[in-house]
């Protein structure tokens, strides 16, 4: 039976109607600070915790519930005679339901320019202690940490007169997940604040996420999947995007969309990324978004069908018209926003409206590039590394051939290099201007990637430039590129055969520059 409940909440969403319903069910309410005041102002009978403990709230509210009459009432095992005897001896009343959520630490630390002391003050101590106590003793105590669960709790109390074991167990799991996520956010923030300049990786790395949605399936239909978001929201990220319509998202949709957004985040100009199987098959900058998309689509029209798109500008009507006209179709689109007329055009287009997933992500560009650590799970653990982020200063290029690239070639090489870092190794990108002509991705030999990129470039390959994510181990790759009509090449250099590769370029009369920066993407 639920006879007595303790309420102490920071998030007071729906608190008054919930507490009123509990009171009407005959539950005695105990509360602290602002929670008690809110209930009292709503004329809901409530007992102040200080009158139970015999101690006032002190130290600006830091100490109020850390007392045996509170934790004893939560932790006592009702079927243990010595526990019952101790409660009677010390005047400890049982607390059967704990409604607690925590100080807004994550929201506070995210505020621009916030003082360290203000963030520290939002590290909750009593709240997690009560939550953990109640969750530990879930055989006898219900713990509610999310206002979204208020209605479920009331429904079960009205129907059964108590909380069933199944719901108590579920609420306990949710409570421990909350405190784990909370402590993870605190630990990571403290490391970010205090670590030495050369100390990049903490001794213990904590990771916690909250489920944002369940997916249609994982990589394949027989695999289940779900999307989670971290406590720290990343700008222009999928977990925080607004879903505007279309089929339910699948695991593969999200992987491809993430790859497309990461590529788009490299560019400040109107830019379109066309991504398929986690690789860009087309990419371009343009005077406007529609022009960028038209050029990006032409990078590989065959692969573009059924791809996912990411843009650095809101989708306008001209861009929507390009998409829905002709025999074009994509699985999903991520953009900062969608103009109303563009949204209507996509939604009413034949085969488009109910199928294409549309996600409004907010601004996408260099200011939203993710700069944190990148993680990859492996059997028995995971790997951490810095993200491959170049920053705003362009990499200095070293001309290593007799011929130097002209200004237009340099611009195109830099564009191709930025795209190349988002292509699976071995990666080759052929570009003309600021648009991709062809991509060679994921091949076991670099010359095969060159062959594939040349093939995809078609008749336009003459006068193009090429970027490679790593050095050429032999001259064969550059020889194939020159044969096709490539006039300038960017690569990091570093091979023991660099001299032979440079000699091959000089013999063919083309320019080569070294970036001295590799961009493997395994």
- CB distance 397 to 390 below 8 Å: no
Q: 327 exposed, middle or buried (CB, 10 Å; 0-12, 13-18, 19+)?
A: exposed
- Catalytic option among 83, 136, 174, 500: 136
Q: Between vectors from CA 119 to CA 117 and to CA 120, what angle results, nearest 5°? A: 65
DSSP string, 362-397: S--SGGG---SEEEEEETTEEEEEE-----SSPPP-
Cα distances from 259 to residues 135, 273, 319, 430, 491, in angstroms, run: 39, 9, 21, 19, 22
Structure tokens at 15: 């608190």
Given the residues 83, 174, 277, 500, select the one marked as catalytic.
277
Long-range CB pairs of 391-395, under 8 A, 24+ apart, other chains included: 392/366, 395/515, 395/516, 395/517
In contact, 276 and 306? CB cutoff 8 Å: yes
**How far apart are the C-alpha atoms of 256 and 133, rounded to whole Å?**
43
Identify the H or E element spanning 457: helix 446-457
Is 421 catalytic? The answer is: no
At how many degrees (to 10) do helices 498-508 and 476-484 cross? Answer: 20
Q: How many CB atoms within 10 Å of residue 154?
A: 16
Distance CA 278, CA 521 (A): 11
- How far is the C-alpha of 301 from the C-alpha of 120, rounded, in Å? 54
- Give the integer Cα–Cα distance in Å for 446 and 448: 5
User: Looking at residue 149, what DSSP letter applies?
Assistant: G
Query: Is 277 assigned a catalytic role?
Result: yes
DSSP 58: B
In angstroms, the Cα distances linking 364 to 131, 253, 295, 422 are: 39, 18, 19, 16
Q: Cβ contacts of residue 59 below 8 Å, gap of 6+?
A: none
Q: Which of 455, 442, 505 is nearest to 475 (CA)?
A: 505
Q: Within its chain, how far is the Cα of 216 from the centroid?
A: 19
Question: For residues 216 and 117, what is the distance between their CA atoms, to the nearest angstrom?
Answer: 44
Catalytic residues: 136, 277
């Amino acid at each position: 039976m639920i006879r007595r409940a303790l309420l102490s909440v920071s998030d007071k969403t729906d608190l008054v109607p919930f507490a009123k319903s509990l009171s009407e069910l005959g539950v005695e309410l105990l509360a602290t600070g602002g929670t008690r005041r809110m209930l009292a102002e709503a004329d809901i009978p409530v007992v102040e915790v200080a009158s139970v403990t015999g101690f006032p709230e002190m130290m600006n509210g830091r100490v109020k519930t850390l007392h045996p009459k509170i934790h004893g009432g939560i932790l006592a095992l009702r079927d243990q005679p010595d526990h019952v005897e101790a409660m009677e001896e010390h005047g400890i009343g049982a607390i059967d339901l704990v409604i607690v959520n925590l100080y807004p630490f994550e929201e506070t630390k995210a505020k621009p320019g916030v003082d360290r002391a203000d963030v520290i003050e939002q590290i909750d101590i009593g709240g997690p202690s009560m939550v953990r106590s109640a969750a530990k003793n879930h055989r006898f105590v219900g713990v509610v940490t999310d206002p979204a669960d208020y209605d479920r709790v009331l429904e079960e109390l009205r129907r059964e007169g108590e909380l069933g074991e199944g719901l108590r167990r579920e609420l306990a799991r949710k409570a421990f997940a909350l405190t784990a996520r909370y402590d993870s956010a605190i630990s990571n923030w403290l490391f970010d604040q205090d670590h030495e300049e050369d100390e990049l990786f903490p001794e213990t790395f904590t990771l916690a996420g909250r489920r944002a949605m369940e997916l249609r399936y994982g990589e394949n239909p027989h695999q289940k999947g779900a999307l989670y978001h971290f406590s720290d929201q990343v700008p222009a990220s999928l977990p925080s995007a607004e879903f505007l319509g279309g089929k339910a998202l699948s695991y593969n949709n999200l992987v491809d969309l993430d790859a497309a957004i990461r590529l788009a985040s490299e560019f400040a100009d109107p830019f379109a990324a066309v991504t398929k199987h986690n690789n860009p098959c087309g990419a371009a900058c343009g005077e406007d978004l529609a022009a960028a998309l038209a050029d990006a689509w032409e990078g590989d029209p065959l692969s573009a069908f059924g791809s996912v798109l990411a843009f650095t500008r809101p989708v306008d009507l001209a861009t929507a018209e390009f998409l829905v006209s002709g025999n074009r179709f994509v699985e999903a689109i991520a953009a900062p926003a969608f103009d109303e007329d563009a949204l209507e055009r996509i939604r009413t287009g034949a085969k488009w409206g109910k199928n294409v997933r549309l996600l409004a992500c907010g601004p996408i560009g260099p200011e939203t590039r993710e700069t944190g650590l990148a993680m990859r799970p492996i059997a028995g653990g995971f790997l951490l590394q810095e993200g491959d982020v170049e920053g705003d200063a362009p990499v200095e290029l070293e001309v290593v051939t007799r011929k130097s690239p002209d200004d237009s070639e340099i611009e195109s090489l830099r564009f191709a290099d930025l795209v190349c870092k988002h292509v699976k190794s071995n990666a080759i990108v052929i570009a003309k201007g600021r648009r991709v002509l062809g991509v060679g991705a994921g091949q076991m030999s670099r010359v095969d990637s060159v062959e594939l990129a040349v093939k995809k470039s078609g008749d336009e390959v003459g006068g193009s430039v090429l970027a490679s994510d790593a050095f050429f181990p032999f001259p064969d790759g550059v020889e194939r590129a020159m044969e096709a009509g490539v006039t300038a090449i960017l690569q990091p250099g570093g091979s023991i055969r660099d001299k032979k590769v440079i000699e091959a370029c000089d013999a063919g009369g083309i320019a080569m520059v070294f970036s001295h920066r590799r961009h493997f993407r395994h």
